[in-house]
Amino acid sequence: MKTFIYLFIATILFSACKQQATDGSTTAESDATPTDSLVYPQEKHFKNMRQLTFGGDNAEAYWSFDDSRLVMQSNNPAWGLQCDQIFWFDVNKDDLRKHKPHLVSTGLGRTTCAYFMPGDTTIVYASTHLGGEACPPEPERRADGKYLWPIYASYDIFVADLQGNIIKQLTNEPGYDAEATVSPKGDKIVFTSDRSGDLELYTMDLDGSNVKQITFELGYDGGAFFSPDGSKLIFRASRPQTEEEKAEYKELLSQGLVAPTAMELFICNADGSDLRQLTHLGKANWAPFFHPSGEKVIFSSNHKGTRGFEFNLFMINIDGTGLEQISYDGVFDAFPMFSNDGKRIVFSSNRHNNGTHETNLFVADWVE
């Protein structure tokens, strides 16, 4: 899911600002115990917040089916990492200040988008390690300042056990295959691929068979998640409209690049039918996830920001009504995911980082 596009914008390009709550007060010091000192006054849906990671960039934390574990990706240099690798840990027992979490990926190449498989004994994730042991290079800074995502053609999707042994390679097509997530029903995987010549959504069975393309419009379709009952998908998409925008999109894609600064949320049935645009907010709206009711979606957006990099969490009904701001960090909140029982939420944030470049994971009780 291209984890660190906005982490890069928020924490590298604009990280000179000290983290502050929107009322001007700095966040309080805390440890890994639950506390409301990490919750801003306006954040009425959060309670008993706890910081889970303490260094580097940590994101895309997703719950196991039994809600006892989280899988995530991290580039924490204290763990000897040069770029993102996949880890899992027990959210209730493991203290990541004291112990490194369990490595799932090979430690080679770059990884992204891990998710627990049914049974919680295996994990699906994407990796470039077959294309080379080193971290693939990031795009060079452009003269026009436009931020770009690399779409590494060496990404493929794998299933590994909790000890990191690769059990199966699920994709073997030329080009980009990544961003896999699993239906709560435990029967399907949705992922993004450019095998058609464009970045589209596909579904497949858990063993990699029965691959079906489900989106077909020009633009980047990615970061898809199933609804709690497995009947719908929510995802982010770019939709170039003018001939100039279309030409630029195609040219960048031919270079293995995407400009992700203009995205909206789209919703459809799990087979791709009844596709419709959910948000019309402008700027970048992404990292969506269904509320436990299946009737709302939580997501990250900078549409209210004045400087382009202030990302917070918002909630919207699946009919497009009832937009509500959920988080109020001064820089970055994203990658929200509800636990399967609907009682907790995990997300990534720049809060409480003491002015550093760190993006950490936080978990909180969810208050309706």
Distance of CA 337 to the CA centre of its chain: 9
Give every CB contact of residue 297 below 8 A, 6+ residues apart in sequence. Answer: 234, 265, 267, 278, 288, 289, 290, 291, 315, 316, 318
**135 pLDDT more than 60:** yes
Three-state DSSP class for residue 20: coil
First to last CA, the chain: 28
Per-residue pLDDT of 164-198, as tens digits, reads 999 999 999 999 999 999 999 999 999 999 999 99
As a CATH number, domain 5-20+32-366 is 2.120.10.30
CA distance 45 to 76: 29
Per-residue pLDDT of 241-277, as tens digits, reads 999 999 999 999 999 999 988 999 999 999 999 999 9
Domain boundaries, given as residue ranges, for the chain: 5-20+32-366
Q: How much is the CA Rg of the chain, to the nearest whole Å?
A: 19
pTM of the predicted model as reported, rounded to 2 decimal places:
0.92
Give the whole-number percent of the chain exceeding pLDDT 70: 91
